[in-house]
Amino acid sequence: MKFEQLQQALSVVLDAANDDAVLILDSGQPGPTVSVVALTHGNEVTGIATAHQVLEQLQSGQLKQRSGRLQIVLANYEILQDSKDFESLDRFRFEDLNRIWAKSGDGEHEYLAKERIRPYIEQSDHVIDLHSTNGESTSIGILMGPDTAQIEAMQSYLDTPYVLLEAEKFLSGMALVEYHQNSRKSGLSLVIEAGQHFDFSTIETNVANTINLLRHLEVLEGEPRKQVTHPKILKVYEAGIAKFAGEAITWTYSNAPKGFDFVEKGTQICHLNGEPVVVGCDSYIVMQQAQALHAGKEMYYLAAEM
């Protein structure tokens, strides 16, 4: 996909949206309100490509609304709108929009974006927040809350090899979906990490997952497709946090760390902030970073099978 195509996809959704950059599609039938959020991180552009494709399929009649209300929420969209090329895309301008939901700011860019979209998140029964990862990775579901029914729904309807639980406990700040789960205490609050930011082959799966979940939530017509291979459900039990920006981590278990590398109990996986890290149980290493963007950045998560 070309950069211009992504900007074009954004402008199509933006043109159809209201002044808060939220596109509301009301079915006219009673039912749930579901928000699909794109561009919470300015450089995670597969989310807008996905939202655009869902909108196109609705407009062409290929998809039909069934009940309730579908909201396409454009979060930190100005970054894509104002950038010139892939290289100049940033995750955020002032502060990570996905870590500030328990803080109040002083009119800075991401705080304004948060206040703009917050009412729509609060009135949503369900939220699907579309992200992608820095490094090469498979797609991942990150589910908030301990609700067994939601976990089962992910196993049935989400086509990802892994679903992470309890990641919110280890974030340095509050994420959008965690805010949603905290304010609603029910419903689906889910992040889908599509894969690497600019791996556009992931868009197809991302679109299929989004549509399947929207069918499961009964905002779109059609039966959701049941997954044959269920995702592995992993519980996050630790995060490695950088104490300073830059070279905070050296990986030692592998020369080429990838997402979801499995290591046995007792393996030394890295040096973090100058200290060796040894895993206390059989673990998957998730969302490894090579460099710390800033102090307080999560450099990896450790997760174990439930």
Which CB, 63 or 72, lies closer to Zn ion?
72
Q: What is the DSSP letter of 62?
A: S
CA distances from 283 to 265, 268, 270, 279 (A): 7, 12, 14, 7
Which CB, 51 or 63, lies closer to Zn ion?
51
How far apart are CB 174 and Zn ion at their closest, in Å?
Answer: 14
Q: Taking CB under 5 A as the rule, does residue 131 contact Zn ion?
A: yes
How far apart are CB 40 and Zn ion at their closest, in Å?
Answer: 6
Q: Taking CB under 5 A as the rule, does residue 197 contact Zn ion?
A: no
**Tokens at residue 298, please?**
């999560």
Which sign, positive or negative, has the C-alpha torsion 21, 25, 29, 30?
negative
Which CB, 68 or 200, lies closer to Zn ion?
200
Which CB, 63 or 177, lies closer to Zn ion?
177
What is the phi/psi pair of residue 19, to 5°? -65, -20
How far apart are CB 142 and Zn ion at their closest, in Å?
Answer: 10
Count of all residues that appear for the chain in the document: 306
Q: Taking CB under 5 A as the rule, does residue 114 contact Zn ion?
A: no
How far apart are CB 196 and Zn ion at their closest, in Å?
Answer: 12
Contact 17, 52 (CB under 8 A): no
Which CB, 99 or 131, lies closer to Zn ion?
131
Measured distance between the N- and C-terminal CA atoms of the chain, rounded to whole angstroms: 38
- Interface segment toward Zn ion; rule CB under 5 A; list 34-42, 134-142, 248-256, 285-293: 34-42
Contact 251, 269 (CB under 8 A): yes
Judged by CB under 5 A, which of 41, 52, 99, 216 binds Zn ion? 41
Contact 170, 301 (CB under 8 A): yes
Provide the 10 A C-beta neighbour count for residue 92. Answer: 21
Which CB, 45 or 241, lies closer to Zn ion?
45
- Interface segment toward Zn ion; rule CB under 5 A; list 40-48, 59-67, 257-265, 291-299: 40-48
How far apart are CB 42 and Zn ion at their closest, in Å?
Answer: 9
Which CB, 131 or 216, lies closer to Zn ion?
131
Of 75, 86, 70, 82, the C-alpha closest to 48 is 75
- Interface segment toward Zn ion; rule CB under 5 A; list 9-17, 78-86, 128-136, 177-185: 128-136
The residue sitting closest to Zn ion, measured at its beta carbon, is 131
Q: How many residues bind Zn ion (CB under 5 A)?
A: 3
Contact 251, 299 (CB under 8 A): no
Determine the Cα angle at 125 with ends 138 and 119, to 5°. 100
**Tokens at residue 281, please?**
């149980």
- Interface segment toward Zn ion; rule CB under 5 A; list 101-109, 126-134, 143-151, 166-174: 126-134
Interface residues toward Zn ion, by CB under 5 A: 41, 44, 131
